[in-house]
Amino acid sequence: MTREGVSARVEVEMKGKVPMPVLLVARGATGDTTTATIPVEAWLAGERKAAIVMPVPADLTRIEIDPDRKFPDVDPLNQTWPRR
């Protein structure tokens, strides 16, 4: 994750074999959140990594992948920045 003003560039790697969209939630210290999605088409094109620049709260503390656990995941422990 790289901060760019009030946005962040988030790079995600597909480690499994089933392509799915990636739901991202950025959380700030005051409770503000923003969301973004990396569409499934990124993986269908054969890429193993995808990046998105997304708006984030100015007081960013955390970015989570699929916080509601809607999609199966190979390693659910690597879903946050910073790492737990």
pTM of the predicted protein model: 0.87
Q: Is the pLDDT of residue 2 over 80?
A: no
Signed CA dihedral, 30, 38, 51, 15: sign only: positive
Neighbours of 15 (CB within 10 A): 10
Give the tens place of pLDDT for each residue, 32-55: 999 999 999 999 999 999 999 999
Cα–Cα distance between 5 and 84 in angstroms, integer?
A: 24
Summarize pLDDT for 56-84 with one digit per residue, the tens: 999 999 999 999 999 888 888 899 999 76
